[in-house]
Amino acid sequence: MFKRKILVFIYRYIIPYGGLVLVKMISFTYRVRMVDAENESNILNKGESLIYASWHQRFFPGITFFTTRKPIAIMISQSRDGEYISRIVDILGWLPVRGSSSRGGPEAIQN
């Protein structure tokens, strides 16, 4: 029972916060250049919504970019790995929406 509580603590707190620190440290090494930032501003000023896309191999630079945009919802897979990422996204103050192209994607987009 005690061992399980320790594992739950590690998975719920240590890994997500440690992962976030690591991602932020790596993100300081990236330079992000916004192309057509005025278009983004015009859409947001009209009260309309945007969809940003980032692929897995661009996840770390994406964190650097997305930290400046709030409120934001991030679609995250329903896998176990997605659960870790979902916790990090929650820590950042974003809304984790669970789904992917193969499981729960349409429902996630509606959220």
Structural domain that includes position 71: 2-110
d(CA 75, CA 96): 6
Strands (E), 18-109: 73-76, 95-98
Q: For 12-57, write each residue's pLDDT tens digit.
A: 788 878 877 887 788 778 777 778 888 888 988 898 877 777 666 6
Token pair for residue 92? 């950042």
Angle, alpha carbons 68-70-72 (nearest 5°) = 115
- pTM across the whole model: 0.57
pLDDT of residue 64: 67
- Rounded to an integer, the average pLDDT of 86-99 is 81
pLDDT of residue 100: 65
Question: Would you tell me how many other CB atoms lie within 10 Å of the CB of residue 108?
Answer: 19
Domains identified in the chain, total number: 1
